[in-house]
Amino acid sequence: MPDIFISDIEREEKPKESQPQPDIIEKSKDHSHNPLSAFMFRPKNIDFEARDKDEKIVLVLRRHPITNLGWALIALLMILVPSILSQLKVLGLLPFNFRFIAVFVWYLITSAYILQNFMNWFFNVQIITDERIVDIDFTNLIYKEVSDANIDKVQDVTYKMGGVVRTIFNFGDVLIQTAGEVPNFEFEAVPKPNQVAKILQDLRLEEAQEAVEGRIR
Amino acid sequence: MNAAIPIIGISAWVIVKIFILIGLLLYSVFAFVMVKQTKLMAETFIIRYSSYVRLLVYLHMAFSVFAFILALIIL
């Protein structure tokens, strides 16, 4: 028998259960687990001091490896200096024992120069997790600065690429303005700045979605 | 070496040696600071290969101490 009257209550559609958004970021393909990479997407075996238990690392960035070229060339020159000086008979002016110590100490200083610059590149990283942005800076041997801001505090993301080298090797600066205590984050000379900006944008959307659905941690 | 010009009764090379030893002592302190800093870095950002970097820094410190001892003996 056809229904003559259907109650409004019954007709009301059941509200759709909030489906967890398919992870937008999962679609990206640039997975890299090489610890020497400058663009590590969803890396494994990487952690940082202040990470929360449920926090997932989305992206780890360093300066593009090509930015190491300057100090690498200087280091190469430093390695060659003793040979050049001995060719020019300059070292011959010193007694043997002093000459030996001078060359030994020179290579010690060269190794310190290489190690210092390498560590400066290796440990100065920017980490983007699903919850926040963390910037780890070691400016010299005795200075460490770690700043972070929640993703929902990000107000504006700008990236800039300019110059021949940066265009060829696809790297640039990403400037992130936040409403937090640290007003700006600048990721200098990071690879694929357009992808970094896109990932940040996706994370912001995801965070906004979570806020609407009340899934905020 | 013996031909060095004597300054206030001692050979100029002895003065050079003292300066080298002071320099190497300070360098060893610097190498030690480097070890401490690397430890701090590796604790802040935990990544594969950091143990190799730490090993290199330890080797650097060992060589700097060795250089000091060597200079003390052969100069």
Q: Taking residues A138-165, report their average pLDDT.
A: 86
In chain B, residues with a C-beta closer than 8 Å to the C-beta of A111 are 60, 63
Q: Does A176 score more than 50 pLDDT?
A: yes
| B61 in contact with A, Cβ within 8 Å | no
Structure-block tokens of residue A174: 């990403």
Question: What is the H or E stretch that residue B35 is in?
Answer: helix B12-44
Give this prediction's pTM. 0.82
| Section A128-149 average pLDDT | 87
Q: Do B75 and A97 touch (CB under 8 A)?
A: yes
Confidence of residue A13 (pLDDT cuts 50, 70, 90): very low
Question: Which amino acid makes up residue A7?
Answer: S
Give the tokens for residue A97. Answer: 């024992």
Q: What is the pLDDT of residue B29?
A: 95
Give residue A22's pLDDT.
Answer: 45
Sheet containing A143-150: order of strands: A39-41, A57-61, A125-129, A132-140, A143-150
User: A123, B49: Cβ pair inside 8 Å?
Assistant: no
Chain A positions touching chain B (beta carbons under 8 Å): 35-36, 45-49, 95, 97-98, 100-101, 104-105, 108-109, 111-112, 115-116, 118-119, 122-123, 125, 136, 138, 141-142, 144, 146
B49 → chain A, closest CA residue: A35
What is the mean predicted confidence (pLDDT) over A129-135? 91
The pLDDT value recorded for residue A24 is 47
Q: Is the distance from CB of A190 to CB of A63 less than 8 angstroms? A: yes
> Tokens 């690397």 — which residue?
B38
What pLDDT, on the 0 to 100 scale, is given for residue A124?
A: 93
Measure the CA–CA gap between B75 and B72, rounded to whole angstroms.
6
Higher model confidence: residue A96 or residue B67? Answer: B67
A52-110 confidence digits (pLDDT tens): 888 899 999 999 999 999 999 999 999 999 999 888 888 888 888 899 999 999 999 99
Q: Which residue has the higher pLDDT, A49 or A15?
A: A49
pLDDT tens digits for A21-50? 445 455 555 566 788 889 999 888 888 888
Q: Which residues of A52-62 are buried (b: 16+ CB within 10 A; e: fewer)?
A: eeebebbbbbb
Sort out which chain A residues have CB atoms less than 8 A from B37's CB and list them.
119, 138, 141-142
Higher local confidence (pLDDT), A11 or A206? A206
Q: Which pLDDT score, from 0 to 100, does residue A21 have?
A: 45
Q: Count residue pairs from A and B with Cβ separation < 8 A.
A: 88
Residue A19 is predicted with a pLDDT of 42
Predicted pLDDT at A68: 95
What is the value of ipTM here, to two decimals? 0.88
Q: pLDDT digit string (tens) for B2-50? A: 555 666 677 888 888 999 999 999 999 999 999 999 999 999 999 888 8
Question: To the nearest whole number, what is the mean pLDDT of chain A?
Answer: 83
Task: Return the pLDDT at A14.
Answer: 44
Give the residue-averaged pLDDT of A124-136: 92
